[in-house]
């Protein structure tokens, strides 16, 4: 039986341990290393190496061919996911900030994935409806503005195939999940919608990752 300290969990997740397991299980090649290094003026809010590798593995397990990502930043997670798509697979990724999208396109091209990834610039709530005719999709990964997570989740459930994956990062909302704020209500709405429509779990990554399989 695990002792009390191990049940509390985070006590053993020191920065040194996290660095070690990331290097062993989710090491970077040149393309991933470049996409992980955020230039000045862009926030360093991409998923971590282990979370990026987890996205890869989940898409491989799902046999994903068509994927949507909401929140590109500079392309790190998109590169992870697109690498496991088959030759005829494609990923559409949405980024609100044109500057971020420009850097993402450069990183994606250097990774040799420009033909597999389309970077779309604009608000997720406006661009997602334009992708409906590309679906149904095999996976939707959400890592964007938190106040719209419930809207993104509803679109994902509507446009996923049966057995498709909905993935939502920052599901603990930086400790604000239970707050009576617009962000808190939207994230709780996302959790509840996924739980109602999918077989789902919240994985306790540093800020949480919801994984749902559409029923």
Return the pLDDT at 5.
47
* 85 pLDDT higher than 90: yes
pLDDT band at 1 (very low <50, low <70, confident <90, very high): very low
Judged against a pLDDT cut of 80, whether residue 96 lies above it is answered with: yes
Contact (Cβ atoms closer than 8 angstroms) between residue 139 and residue 165:
yes
Predicted confidence (pLDDT) per residue in 5-27, tens digit: 445 555 678 889 989 999 999 99
So where are the chain's domains? 10-214
Residue from 113, 121, 142, 122 nearest 34 by CA: 113
pTM equals 0.93
Tens of pLDDT, residues 170-181? 999 999 999 999
Cα–Cα distance for residue pair 23/6, rounded to 1 Å:
23
**Which overall architecture, per CATH, does domain 10-214 show?**
3-Layer(aba) Sandwich (3.40)
| Residue 20 CB-density burial (10 A; 0-12 exposed, 13-18 middle, 19+ buried) | exposed
pLDDT above 70: percentage of residues in the chain: 95
Q: Is the pLDDT of residue 4 over 80?
A: no
Q: How confident is the model at residue 150 (pLDDT cuts 50, 70, 90)?
A: very high
pLDDT at 212 over 80: yes
What integer best gives the mean pLDDT of the chain? 94
């Amino acid at each position: 039986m695990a002792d009390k300290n191990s049940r509390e969990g985070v006590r053993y997740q020191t920065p040194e341990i996290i660095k070690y397991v990331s290097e062993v299980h989710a090491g970077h090649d040149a393309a991933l290393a470049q996409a992980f290094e955020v230039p000045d003026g862009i926030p360093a809010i991409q998923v971590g190496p282990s979370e990026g590798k987890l996205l890869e593995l989940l898409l491989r397990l799902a046999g994903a061919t068509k994927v949507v990502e909401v929140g590109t930043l500079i392309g790190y997670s998109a590169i992870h996911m697109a690498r496991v798509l088959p030759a005829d697979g494609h990923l559409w990724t949405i980024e609100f900030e044109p500057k971020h999208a420009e850097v993402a396109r450069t990183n994606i091209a250097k990774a040799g994935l420009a033909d597999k990834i389309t970077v779309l610039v604009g608000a997720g709530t406006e661009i997602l409806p334009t992708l409906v005719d590309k679906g149904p999709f095999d996976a939707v990964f959400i890592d964007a503005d938190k106040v719209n997570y419930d809207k993104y989740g509803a679109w994902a459930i509507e446009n996923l195939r049966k057995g498709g994956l909905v993935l939502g990062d920052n599901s603990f909302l930086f400790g604000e999940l239970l707050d009576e704020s617009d962000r808190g209500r939207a994230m709780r709405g996302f959790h509840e919608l996924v739980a109602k429509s999918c077989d789902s779990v919240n994985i306790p990554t540093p800020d949480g990752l919801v994984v749902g399989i559409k029923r």
